[in-house]
Amino acid sequence: MHIDWWTLGLQTINALVLIWLLARFLFRPVAKIVAERQLAATALMNDAVAAKAAALSEQQQAAAEIARLEQQRGQTLEAASAEAATLKASLESAARANAERLRTAAQAEIDTARRNAAQADADRASQFALDVAAKLLDRLPREARVSGFIDGLAVGLGKLPESTRAQLGRDGVPLRLIAACELRADELAGCRTALSRVLGRELPMQVTVDPTVIAGLELEAPHATVRNSFRSDLMHLKAELLTHDTDPA
């Protein structure tokens, strides 16, 4: 076999020139276009990935916000329910307290009315009994209405504290000697003697007549009072009767 080296060399050169031309005017522009297309595709993919990530992030944020709102709504409903329950309990308690207060007030008014009625009945009965006793005592002889009470008045004066007795008559103001009727001279002298015997000195006295004393004597000073009379006894008796009649059973 005969090989034509010139022909082979020329063909090789033609092939090399063709390869260079293809490389320069075809392969490089195509590769550049492909690279640019790959870069564009990569950029688009990156943008898509970023958009997807942003969408996912927004979706997660929206879901979190919805969950937060649901939790807040639940807490608000729980707080409103608790407040309503508290308000209901408070209103019920206030209503019960008001009803109890009204019942207590009504019962107190009833008890007061009963006590007042019982007090009035007892007062009338006691006053009637005292009026009868006063009328009976008013029929005593005159002598018994004065002389029989002098010693008791002196005893009552002696029971006063020493400091009080020392002040009697010291300021120059006369003591009031109260009797149910005008005193005779001997009766007044008997009073002065009995009282002076207790104090060891004379007392300045001014006699006053008061028929409501009924019987007995009363001695009044600015800082002390001594009573030995039926009026005083009847007053004590009336107080004891009223207290006894109105005491709860």
Going from N- to C-terminal start, the domains of the chain cover 1-137, 141-246
Residue 74's CB is within 10 A of a number of other CB atoms, namely: 10
Q: What is the pLDDT of residues 126-149, one digit of tens each?
A: 667 667 766 766 666 666 678 889
Q: Is there a contact between 175 and 204 (Cβ–Cβ < 8 Å)?
A: yes
Stated as kind and residue range, the H or E segment containing 237 is helix 230-246
Q: What is the pLDDT of residue 127?
A: 66
What are the structure tokens assigned to 180, written together? 């149910």
What are the structure tokens assigned to 72, written together? 């807040």
Name, in order, each residue with C-beta under 8 angstroms of 167's C-beta and a sequence gap of 6 or more. 221, 223, 224
What are the structure tokens assigned to 214, written together? 């009924």
Q: What is the pLDDT of residue 67?
A: 82
Q: From CA 170, how far away is CA 155, in angstroms rounded?
A: 20
- Sign of torsion, CA 146 150 155 157? positive
Name, in order, each residue with C-beta under 8 angstroms of 199's C-beta and a sequence gap of 6 or more. 157, 165, 168
Stated as kind and residue range, the H or E segment containing 205 is strand 205-209
Q: Is there a contact between 151 and 197 (Cβ–Cβ < 8 Å)?
A: no
Q: From CA 34, how far away is CA 21, in angstroms rounded?
A: 19
Q: What is the pLDDT of residue 2?
A: 64
Name, in order, each residue with C-beta under 8 angstroms of 155's C-beta and a sequence gap of 6 or more. 228
Q: What is the pLDDT of residue 1?
A: 57
Whole-model pTM: value is 0.48
Give me the residues of the chain with pLDDT under 70, please: 1-3, 25-26, 118, 121-123, 125-127, 129-130, 133-134, 136-144, 241-249
Q: From CA 8, how far away is CA 169, in angstroms rounded?
A: 175
Q: Is there a contact between 232 and 219 (Cβ–Cβ < 8 Å)?
A: no
Secondary structure class of 183 (helix, strand, coil)? coil
For 2-12, b where at least 16 C-beta lie within 10 A, e where not — what string?
A: eeeeeeeeeee
